[in-house]
A and B are shown apart, each in its own frame.
Chain A
Amino acid sequence: MKRKILALFLTSVMALCPLLSGCNAIGMNQSDKLTFYCVGDGSDELFEFLKKYNKYCAVNDCFEDSVEFISFDSYNEMNSALATELMAGGGPDILSLTQTYPFEKLVRNNALADIDEIVSTYNADVNFDDFNEKVMNSGVVDGKRCILPLYYRLNALYTTEEKLAKFGLDRENFSFDTILQAYENGSVNSYFVNPYSAEAFYFSFIRRYIDFYEGTADFESDEFKDYAEKFRQAVLKGGTYKELHSNEPDIPENEFEPEDDSGYIFSANEDNYYGGSLASFAQDYLIAMEYGQQPPVLVPDFNRKGEITASIEVGFAINANCKKMDKAAKLIEYLLSDSSQGYFGGGRDDSNSMGLSIPVKNSVYDNAVKEALAYEKHFWGFEFNRDNVELKNKALTEMYIPMLESISSCNLYGYNSQLKSHLYQNVIGEVIVDYLDGKITTNKLSQRLTSAVTIYMSE
């Protein structure tokens, strides 16, 4: 009898195990609302947009359409939960492009829903002809719209005319070779004052030799090996990778002060205070001028073909496992509406709004351009000097806007956020750091990058 009781007890324990473990439906996404995973207080840019959408839902009496935030303590924890849940056919409904998921792979793995299909099935009021085609196409793979860009940034480096002249550079004839020449002449300490920007610049250079959509990588060429070594020297200022990161960056209070003579040329997009939106560019430009500082000059961070490119600032995708596609359609409609695009992209009549970045919707973009050109009064009330306003408009119409309108393509990741990408974090970051650290030769770098990227793209 005792043995029977013991056996029954053991059996019941075993039977209870799966109920108490993660292998059941209790922990999975069973919310009636759309779900979004975030870390801590949701320091993701999309989080702000979704919070605004929730407010919109509350005001318009459609609370059931709002988004539920599921918070995690760390990205590792969030990614583990996501991996397990996706495997079980669940996971969050909304995936933000700033989260460290392998989006290059997800678009090919059918893990992301076709946004065109959602829009047409649920009759969302979205016409993709009204949007910037070059930017929107970055989310389309094999004819399927997997990622929806909301805002983008120009891939450009900031500097001043004075600095360019000092290092013998010319904005019109700017290229890899000319900035290498400037370093080799000995007048440049480093391209960037911020070590993370320097690292991002190096990764951005490596990234040029990978074509995800074609599935090719070209790290074996003499051109790559030559540049790899020269840029390594320039990025490290002739020192080591450890030294680069061990020293606190000596960033001047204002990077564009005329008396600044720190021997660096550029500032990356995210480093400086020149905001991403047209209106904030206009405002920051005018403030700099008012204080007698050098106005910024943008030089394109060209791709390998010498073309001007952009990168997605905020974008998202819908999980293919999502069971609430009708609600996803409403969210898409809202985020691409004039009011939402204008709220975060500038171009709305509220003068307190500088916006976050460049909107993908053409009509909102046009409004943002008009607003930036008309900008001449600080929101605190004081009017800017008329000459400076004209200079600002000249910078916009002759430099910034032409560059924005001549972009040839758009990358999935921004300049600094690419260091958080899956490709950098899990595939080639370690190899690049080993190379910057001097642990491997240029030939080894070329060999290891070729091996890792080729495998990553095809596995």
Chain B
Amino acid sequence: MKYKRKEGFAALLFILPSVLGIAVFYVVPYIICFVKSLFIGNTFVGLNNYFELFTNKTFLLALKNTGIFTVIAIPLLMIVSFLIALFLNSFKSISGFFRSSLLIPVVVPIASLVSVWQLLFDDYGAINGLLNNLGLDTVGFFNSGFSMVMIILIYVWKYCGFCVVLFTAGLAGVPQHLYESARLDGASSFKMVTKVTIPMITPTTFFVFLMEIIYSFKIFREVFAIFGDYPDENVYFLQNFINNNYYNLNYPRLSAASIVLSLFIVILLLVFYLFERKHSFTQ
């Protein structure tokens, strides 16, 4: 008993640095951020900053764009990467090569990535050159309604390889006897995927979803590199709003927007977590 208590104490000591690190660099700043969001200058205004935020048309625009991006890009990336993983799982001899190839965009530096996309899709880029040669008008891929499509494409292209690797690992963990039983019961390939594969890889799907949420916020780097501080209205995200308010030195609004953004992520993850708990068949 004494030995166990001693061991517990040592374990606590080992955890303490991490706890302190998280507290100092995440928890405390988060609390400070929340407190700042309740003030304007040195005056306590309660939730006024939040009410103002939800009447600010630029914030609503950013929220709408972030919502559209999340709702479209994340499921799209999950579906595309899952299908590729399924495909590669069926052709194990070539899957190694393709998996490695798909990972290249993840490691390509942002500047190179942006240059390539601009060379292709800019007003004077290769695609518009081709369209002009065919007698068609220039399409403003980066400065029109297409901007969002372009950002979704970049996101899917960049992170697809990583998700494929995760899904492939998940697929490898599905017991083969489940497929054999399903096959004996006369299940079609589609039924096997929907009734066996998908339920069995729910933890992997959850993890992929988590990673995609994280990556969806990292896409701001690409948006920033292509469009700068003030992008086209279609691709003005919450991160732009927060970043610009930092440079505009509007900290009450910045803090309120950050808290809203974090709640947005937490609610999203909570919903998925509850869904995963309810529908996971791995147990």
- The answer to whether A and B assemble together is yes
Q: Is the Cβ of A11 less than 8 Å from the Cβ of B17?
A: yes
CB nearest to B23 among chain A residues: A14
Q: Is B158 an interface residue (CB 8 A)?
A: no
Kindly state the separation between the CA atoms of A458 and B29 in the bound complex, as whole angstroms.
27
List, in ascending order, chain A residues with CB within 8 A of B248's CB. 102, 105-106, 109, 422, 459
Q: Is the Cβ of B123 less than 8 Å from the Cβ of A111?
A: no
Kindly state the separation between the CA atoms of A7 and B59 in the bound complex, as whole angstroms.
45
Q: Is the Cβ of B13 less than 8 Å from the Cβ of A8?
A: yes
A102 to chain B, nearest CB (A): 5
List, in ascending order, chain A residues with CB within 8 A of B244's CB. 455-456, 459
Kindly state the separation between the CA atoms of A10 and B16 in the bound complex, as whole angstroms.
9
Decide yes or no: A427 and B41 within 8 Å by CB, A83-B247, A87-B251, A111-B249 being known contacts.
no
Binds B, one of A37-45, A397-405, A446-454: A446-454
Decide yes or no: A458 and B58 within 8 Å by CB, A320-B42, A426-B229, A448-B143 being known contacts.
yes
Q: Is the Cβ of A110 less than 8 Å from the Cβ of B233?
A: no
CB nearest to B62 among chain A residues: A459
Decide yes or no: A13 and B10 within 8 Å by CB, A86-B251, A426-B229 being known contacts.
no
**Chain B interface, DSSP helix/strand/loop, else mixed:** helix
Q: Is the Cβ of B123 less than 8 Å from the Cβ of A444?
A: yes
Q: Is the Cβ of A430 less than 8 Å from the Cβ of B56?
A: no
Among the listed A8, A13, A101, A458, which residue makes an inter-chain contact with B249, where contact means beta carbons less than 8 Å apart?
A: A101
List, in ascending order, chain B residues with CB within 8 A of A454's CB. 58, 233
B interface, how many residues as a size bin? 35 or more
Q: Is A440 an interface residue (CB 8 A)?
A: yes
A177 to chain B, nearest CB (A): 31
Q: Is B140 an interface residue (CB 8 A)?
A: yes
A319 to chain B, nearest CB (A): 10
B259 to chain A, nearest CB (A): 15
Q: Is the Cβ of B233 less than 8 Å from the Cβ of A455?
A: yes
Q: Is the Cβ of A105 less than 8 Å from the Cβ of B249?
A: yes
Decide yes or no: A109 and B250 within 8 Å by CB, A458-B57, A459-B241 being known contacts.
yes
Contact with A along B215-255 (1 / 0, CB 8 A): 00000000000001111110010000100111111111100
Q: Is the Cβ of B230 less than 8 Å from the Cβ of A455?
A: yes
Among the listed B14, B24, B140, which residue makes an inter-chain contact with A18, where contact means beta carbons less than 8 Å apart?
A: B24
Q: Is the Cβ of B41 less than 8 Å from the Cβ of A320?
A: yes
Q: Is the Cβ of A14 less than 8 Å from the Cβ of B246?
A: no
Among the listed B10, B58, B250, which residue makes an inter-chain contact with A455, where contact means beta carbons less than 8 Å apart?
A: B58
Q: Is B20 an interface residue (CB 8 A)?
A: yes
List, in ascending order, chain B residues with CB within 8 A of A110's CB. 40-41, 43, 252
List, in ascending order, chain B residues with CB within 8 A of A109's CB. 248-250, 252-253
Q: Is B21 an interface residue (CB 8 A)?
A: yes
Kindly state the separation between the CA atoms of A151 and B280 in the bound complex, as whole angstroms.
72
Among the listed A82, A447, A451, A459, which residue makes an inter-chain contact with B59, where contact means beta carbons less than 8 Å apart?
A: A459
Most buried by A among B10, B58, B229, B249: B249
Q: In chain B, residues 131-167, which have Cβ atoms closer than 8 Å to a Cβ of chain A?
A: 140, 143
List, in ascending order, chain A residues with CB within 8 A of B41's CB. 110-111, 320-321
Q: Is A386 an interface residue (CB 8 A)?
A: no
CB nearest to B233 among chain A residues: A451
User: Could you list which residues of chain A lie within 8 angstroms of chain B, going by C-beta atoms?
Assistant: 3-4, 7-8, 10-11, 13-15, 17-18, 23, 82-83, 86-87, 89, 101-102, 105-106, 109-111, 320-321, 422, 426-428, 430, 439-440, 444, 447-448, 451-452, 454-456, 458-459
A-B contact pairs, 16 of them (CB 8 A): A3-B13, A7-B10, A8-B13, A11-B20, A15-B20, A102-B248, A105-B249, A105-B250, A439-B123, A444-B143, A451-B231, A451-B233, A454-B233, A455-B61, A455-B236, A459-B248
